[in-house]
């Protein structure tokens, strides 16, 4: 099989030859001249590729040489550390031999002391003369024991210090080995990344072209959306003006209704008075004959009905007023529901109007999902940005309008702060209601 560099150069030469041949043929319509220019461009592209490859190899060799120099320096440090460890071991052995010699001397001194004690038992008469010698020997023995204790202490401290130095040097050696392995891994990763970049270069160029086309399309769509928003804002202003005029009319109607209710209450009081007078007349007529009483009772009942109808001819008016009142209250409730968006404050309402749709979708995913990272990533890829940048822009606009951050980014998954959770729920509900109304109107 051919190497990838040879195949790449062959493809590069074919492309350069074909492009130069086609351009010169289109411009001049001369096959010889086109072939000559194509051949010249082929040679120039191969020369350029050769020089670029040579420079790349030189840079790689420089990096490899620097890594080799670093490895040699670390090996030299390692050998120095081993030499120092060997010197410390030899020094420890010499100290151990000196301590053995001192112990032998102490044993000899003890033997001498025993012999002197035997002589004292034999030579009691020379006790006074020998006491001085014994005192001197005891002093020497005490000094030797003190020196022995000091030597033992110094040897123990030196031994500990040497062990600590050996452990430190071993730890440094292991760290150096780890660093060497990491450098080798980094070298392999760099080589792999370089090959991957060479392979992904044409795909990235195609993706860049597609993104530019998408950006142009999105700009056109954004312009259309801005025009649509301007139209909707004008319509919204007209609707608000109509609502204000309706509210003024409602207030005037309510005042008229109150006046009519006052008049009706007065008429009801008069009717009650008349009914009481009629019942008093009926009680006075009980002393009359029964037939006349029945006749008069019927007549009085008819008269009372006629009088009640004549005195209170506003029953239909009351019914119409009640129906109008119910209708007005229903209209007021509907207008209040349309005017007040889920009891949002002024700052949160401004925050809702300043956020675009995709940032509102990010807030909705954070509020509803336990792991919203995948949806935020999809939204960011659709709008050619990063998830962290989206969250930072939302927090920035919240700090500018509300004065506080609303998204917590310290945990593994982004979440809403507890003190802002209810306001964010209301905001998302208002956003969904507005989108539903816009889709139904469309």
Q: What is the CATH number of the domain that holds 372?
A: 1.10.10
Q: Please name the residue ranges forming H helices in 312-356.
A: 315-339, 346-354
DSSP per residue, 356-380: -HHHHHHHHHHHH-S-THHHHHHHH
In a domain, 442, yes or no: no
- The answer to whether residues 198 and 124 touch, using CB atoms and an 8 Å cutoff, is no
Q: Count how many domains the chain has.
A: 3
Residues 6+ apart with CB under 8 A from 91: 162
C-alpha to C-alpha distances, 355 to 17, 155, 361, 390, nearest whole angstrom: 54, 77, 10, 11
Same structural domain, 290 and 407: no
DSSP per residue, 245-288: HHHHHHHHHHHHHHHHHHHHHHHHHHHHHHHHHHHHHHHHGGGS
Same structural domain, 223 and 358: no
Same structural domain, 99 and 46: yes
Same structural domain, 31 and 126: yes
Of 425, 426, 411, 414, whose CA–CA distance to 369 is shortest?
Answer: 414
In a domain, 439, yes or no: no
Same structural domain, 248 and 319: yes
Same structural domain, 249 and 191: no
Same structural domain, 195 and 66: yes
Write down which residue in 339, 371, 404 finishes a domain. 339
Alpha-carbon distance 334 to 242, whole Å? 14
Same structural domain, 108 and 160: yes
Same structural domain, 325 and 365: no
Residues 6+ apart with CB under 8 A from 373: 387, 413, 414
Taken as a whole, the chain contains a residue count of 442
Same structural domain, 180 and 325: no
**Percent helix, strand and coil across the chain, each rounded to 5?**
90, 0, 10
Domain span at residue 359 reads 346-434
Query: Can you give the pLDDT at residue 5?
Result: 67
Write down which residue in 301, 324, 339 finishes a domain. 339
Please tell me the pTM assigned to this model: 0.27
In a domain, 351, yes or no: yes
Q: Please, which residues bridge with residue 415 across strands? A: 408
* Token pair of 3 as six digits: 């190497």
Same structural domain, 223 and 322: yes
Write down which residue in 166, 199, 216 finishes a domain. 216
In a domain, 268, yes or no: yes
Same structural domain, 75 and 192: yes
In a domain, 377, yes or no: yes
In a domain, 440, yes or no: no
Alpha-carbon distance 294 to 298, whole Å? 6
Average pLDDT by stretches of 10, the chain with 442 residues: 62 77 77 80 81 85 87 87 86 84 84 78 72 83 85 82 83 85 83 76 77 82 82 81 80 79 79 74 63 46 41 43 44 37 72 89 89 90 86 90 88 87 90 83 66
In a domain, 138, yes or no: yes
Query: Can you give the pLDDT at residue 287?
Result: 60
In a domain, 441, yes or no: no
**Locus of tokens 């420079």:** 55
């Amino acid at each position: 099989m051919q190497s990838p560099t040879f195949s790449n150069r062959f493809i590069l030469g074919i492309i350069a030859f074909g492009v130069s041949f086609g351009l010169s043929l289109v411009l001049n319509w001369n096959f010889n001249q086109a072939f000559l220019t194509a051949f010249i461009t082929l040679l120039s592209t191969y020369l350029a590729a050769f020089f670029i490859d040579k420079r790349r190899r030189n840079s790689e060799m420089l990096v490899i040489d620097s890594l080799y120099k670093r490895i040699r320096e670390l090996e030299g440090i390692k050998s120095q550390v081993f030499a120092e460890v060997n010197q410390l071991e030899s020094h420890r052995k010499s100290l151990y031999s000196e301590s053995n010699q001192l112990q032998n001397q102490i044993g000899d001194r003890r033997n001498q002391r025993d012999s002197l004690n035997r002589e004292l038992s034999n030579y009691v008469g020379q006790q006074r003369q020998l006491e001085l010698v014994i005192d001197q020997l005891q002093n020497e023995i005490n000094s030797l024991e003190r020196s022995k204790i000091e030597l033992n202490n110094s040897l123990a401290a030196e031994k500990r210090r040497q062990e600590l130095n050996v452990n430190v040097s071993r730890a440094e050696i292991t760290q150096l080995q780890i660093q060497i392995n990491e450098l080798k891994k980094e070298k392999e990763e760099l080589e792999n990344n370089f090959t991957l970049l060479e392979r992904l270069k044409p795909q990235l160029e195609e993706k860049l072209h597609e993104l530019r086309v998408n950006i142009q399309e999105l700009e056109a769509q954004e312009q259309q959306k801005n025009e649509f928003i301007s139209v909707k804002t004008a319509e919204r202003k007209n609707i608000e003006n109509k609502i204000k005029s309706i509210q003024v009319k409602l207030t005037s109607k309510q005042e008229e209704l109150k006046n009519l209710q006052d008049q009706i209450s007065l008429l009801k009081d008069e009717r009650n008075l008349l009914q009481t007078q009629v019942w008093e007349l009926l009680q006075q007529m009980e002393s009359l004959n029964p037939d006349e009483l029945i006749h008069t009772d019927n007549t009085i009942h008819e008269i009372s009905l006629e009088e009640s109808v004549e005195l209170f001819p506003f029953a239909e008016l009351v019914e119409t007023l009640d129906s109008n009142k119910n209708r007005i209250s229903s209209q007021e409730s509907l207008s209040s529901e349309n005017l007040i968006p889920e009891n949002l404050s002024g700052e949160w309402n401004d925050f809702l109007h300043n956020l675009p749709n995709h940032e509102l979708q990010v807030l909705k995913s954070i509020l509803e999902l336990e792991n919203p990272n995948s949806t935020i990533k999809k939204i960011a890829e659709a709008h050619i940005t990063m998830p962290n940048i989206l969250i930072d822009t939302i927090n920035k606009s919240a700090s500018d309008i509300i004065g506080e951050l609303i998204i917590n980014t310290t945990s593994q998954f982004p979440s809403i702060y507890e003190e802002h959770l209810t306001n964010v729920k209301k905001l998302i509900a208002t956003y969904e209601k507005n989108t539903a109304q816009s889709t139904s109107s469309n």
